[in-house]
A and B are shown apart, each in its own frame.
With several copies, the nearest count.
Chain A
C-alpha cells in the first residue's frame, strides 16, 4: 500500500450528518474505542435546534465533536483536523471550523442535487466540485454505494441497508487512525442481540469501511496518536449529566438516605431525570411534577420527611423555583438545586451553553436569602461537585445550588471512577430526643449553626416550621425586630461559615504571583487550562485558578488573588463573577466575556491575555 504513517499529538474530529444518520452513535463508538486504546478524550455532541427539521436541511444537522490525543485533553478542541460529513448541509454548517489544510471526508451521495438544494446551496453549485474546498484534503466517498454493495446479498431492504452507512464511515476512520474494531464489534453484537441479520450487516459494512481505507488508492496517510500518559487505574467514559446523576446516588448511599429527585423536564437538564429514573433499585425516587414549583416543593417535602431532597432544572425553571428556595432556607432543611445552565434570557438558546445564572443563584431571591453555590468544571467533576452540594446541604441544613451547564452536561471525558469505599461518608444524624430539658427546640444550632433535622415519626419531637420569621431556638413565629435581625445575620453567618469546611483555593497552573491570573469558574475549565498551558509554554507570566465553590468562596481567595498583578475573569456571560469579586475584594478584576452559546476557544483567552500584557507592559517591565 502506498500510504505513510504520521504521528500526531492530538486530533479533533467532527462527525456530522443528518439527525437520522446515526452520528451520535458513531461518535460514541469512536470515543470508546479510542479511550480503550489509551488516549485522553474530550467530546461534545452538538444537537440540532429543538425540533427536528426536514431531512437534509441545515437546521437538521447533528454533530459529534471529539478531541483525542497523547496528553490531557481539556476541551473537545477549537478547530477541526477532520470533518466527516454525510451530506451537504453538514459541510455547510461545519466547514468554518475546519483548520486550513484539514481533512474532509465527504459522503458524495449526500451531495446530490436534492441534498444541495435542501442545504440551500445556490442552484448548480456543488462545493465538492467548484474548487471552494481548495486548501483542504478532501476524500470523496460514495458511502451509500459502498454500503449497498457490501450488503447486496444480505437480504436486507434498501432502507434498512442504508442505515448502516455510518458503520462504513466508522470503519474508514478506524483505519485512518489505526484503531482496532473489537470494541465496536462487541457493541454491535450486544445491541442487536435479537437481530442476527442486522449484526451481520453492520459488521460487514464496518469491515468494508476499514478495508476501503486499506485498499483505496485515494488515501495517502494514516495517523498514529499514541496513548496519553494518564494516571494508572480503571477508567470509563462519562457525560456531565450522567456524572451528576451518579453523584446524587452516591451521596444518597454515603449518607444513608433515600434520594428523591423532583423535577420537570427541561433542556439540558432532562437527562439527569432520564438517568436517575433507571436506578430505582437504589431506592431512588424520581418524581416528574406538574411544574418546577411543584418539583422543588416536593423535594422540600421529601427533605422534611428525611430523604435527600433534590430538584433540578435549567434557567427558566430555576426562576420559577425561587420563592420555594426561600422557603427551604427559612425552614433550614437540606435541599440541592441542580441548575444545568443554558443560553438565556427567557427561553433563550435552550440547546446552547452559557454561565449566566450565577447572579441569580447568589442573589435571585426576595429578602435576605443566602444559599450555598457550587459549580462543576468538567463532565466528571459534576460527580464531585454535586456530591459536595449534597454534603453541604446535609451538614448545614441549607439549600445548595449546584451549577452545571449545557457544555459539560452533554460533554464527555474519560473518568477514573472512584470506588464506593473511597468516597467519604456524609454523616447524617436525625434528632432522636429532646434537646433542651424536656423540650425539643427545632432551631437550636450546632457549631456549624445547623439546626437539628427532626423528621416526623419520632415521638416527643413534634414541632412546626414555616416561612414566617422564626424565633431563635424555639422556631415559633416571631415578629420581634431584634430577633429578625439576629435570624437574618445567623442565616448569613451559617452560609459564610461553610468556608471553613471546604478546601482552600489552589492555583491550577502557573506561578503564585503571576502577572496575569485567570480566574475562572464552572465549565470553562478546559478552555482556560489549555490556554494557560500554551501561554506558559510561551514563557508568559500567567496563572490559572478555577473556582468550584462560589458562595462562600474559599477562605484564602482574597490573599491568593492579591499576589497577582492583574486578574482576568473569563465567563460565558456578560460579566457576573467579576461583579462579586470586585464588590467583595475591591480588586480591579477585568472581565472577558463570550455570549454566543459556545464554549471559549483557546485563542479567545490567549488574545485577551496578550492584550492585557501589552496594555500594561510598562508596569510589568519596571517591576
Chain B
C-alpha cells in the first residue's frame, strides 16, 4: 500500500446527504467504522463502489462519497455480479439487510457465494424488517411478536453463517455494531479476502427490535456469551477468560479452564470447513445454551474468483482463435456471391 494512493480520509467519505436513520440505530456505528477503515485499505476512492438493495441499511451508499447504487430489494448481489464481471478492478461492497439478503434476495445471495465473485458483503442483521416498520425477517427468533406476527412468529430462523457455508461461501465472518474495534478488524479481513466475503454484522434496530443482541453487546453479559475466534488460537471465553471449548468427536463442549489445559482446547482453524460448520452451529441447539455465540472469521478458503475465470477464458479463447474480427464474423463460414 503506497501512501500516494491513500488520497482520502474518513471525512472525505461523508456525503452532503443528511443521514436519516433513527437516532440510536446501530447503522450509525457501522457507517462510522466503514468510513474509518476504508482509507486504510490502499484503495483509490474512485475505485470503490457500494451497492445496496432496499431497507434501512441499504440507504448506506448515499452516505458514502464513493460510487454507489441503491438498487431494488434483494438484488444488490445480482447487480454486483454483473458489475464485477466487467470490472474486476473495482472494490465492490454490497450492503444488505437480513430481509434483503436472506428473504427476497436469498437466491442471488447463495449463487454469488457459489460463484465466488470477489466482493465484500456486509449483512446488517437486525433480525427484523426495519424500513417497512417491523415485520419479522428470516432471522427473527421463533415466537417473537412483531407487526406481522401479533401472536408470535412461526418461522424457524435461518442460521446465516450456516447457510453461507452450505452455499460454499469462501469467507464467512461475524461482528457487531457495538464493538467498533472488532468490527474494523473484520472489515479489513473481509476486504482482504479474495473472493466472496460475507460479514454478518449484528445491528441493533432500536425502534423495532431493540436489544435483540443485548446479551452479546452489553458489558455485563458480553463476556459470558460471546466467543471471539482467531485463527490458530484456542477457543476461550468467559467473564475472566475462564472458559474454553473442546471438541468431543464432533460435539463442542464448554470446559472450565481451571480443570482443562488450553492445549486441549479446540484450536480455531479458519481453513477447516468441517469445523467451521460445527462452530457456526454451536448455539443452534436450544438444549445446550451454555455455548457462547462465536464472532470472528469462521471460514476462509482460497478459490478462484468468477470474474478472473471469465477474463482467463476470454484470454484463452482469444489466444486460440485470435482477436475477433468483425468482418470475419459477419461473413460467417459459408458465403456466396451474386454477381
Contact = CB atoms under 8 A, between A and B. Distances in A.
Nearest to B108: A294
A22 interface: no
Contacts of B46: 456-462
Given A294-B111, A464-B62, A467-B72, A234 B337 contact: yes
A102 to B, nearest CB: 29
A301 B73 CA distance: 15
Interface string A423-454: 00000000000000000000000000000000
A301 B22 contact: no
Given A459-B44, A459-B45, A465-B70, A304 B79 contact: yes
B107 to A, nearest CB: 6
Contacts of B23: 52, 54-55
B82 A298 contact: yes
A287 B85 contact: yes
Nearest to B130: A51
Nearest to B23: A54
Interface stretch (B148-156, B231-239, B285-293): B148-156
B86 A306 contact: yes
A298 B78 contact: yes
B1 interface: no
A499 B183 CA distance: 54
B335 A234 contact: yes
A119 interface: no
A52 B90 contact: no
B87 to A, nearest CB: 4
B288 to A, nearest CB: 29
A455 B71 CA distance: 16
Contacts of B108: 290, 293-294, 297
A299 interface: yes
B302 interface: no
Given A38-B338, A273-B148, A51 B21 contact: yes
Nearest to B99: A265
Given A36-B336, A456-B49, A347 B86 contact: no
B329 A305 contact: no
Given A233-B337, A267-B132, A280-B151, A305 B71 contact: no
A160 interface: no
B90 A283 contact: no
Contacts of A578: none
Interface residues of B, number: 87
Interface stretch (B29-37, B174-182, B242-250, B314-322): B314-322
A316 B131 contact: no
B15 A285 contact: no
B20 to A, nearest CB: 5
A46 to B, nearest CB: 16
Contacts of B337: 232-235
Contacts of A236: 331-332, 334-336
Nearest to A230: B338
B277 interface: no
A258 B82 contact: no
A103 to B, nearest CB: 27
Interface string A42-81: 0000000111111101010000000000000000000000
Interface of B: 15, 17-18, 20-23, 44-51, 54, 56, 59, 61-62, 64-75, 78-87, 89-90, 103-104, 106-108, 111, 129, 131-133, 135-136, 138, 147-151, 155, 207, 310, 313-314, 316-318, 320-324, 326-327, 329-332, 334-339
18 contacts: A51-B131, A52-B207, A234-B336, A235-B338, A236-B331, A281-B320, A281-B322, A282-B324, A285-B85, A290-B138, A294-B78, A297-B75, A302-B86, A305-B82, A327-B75, A416-B338, A458-B46, A462-B45
Given A304-B79, A462-B45, 6 more contacts: A249-B324, A253-B326, A289-B81, A459-B46, A463-B68, A464-B64
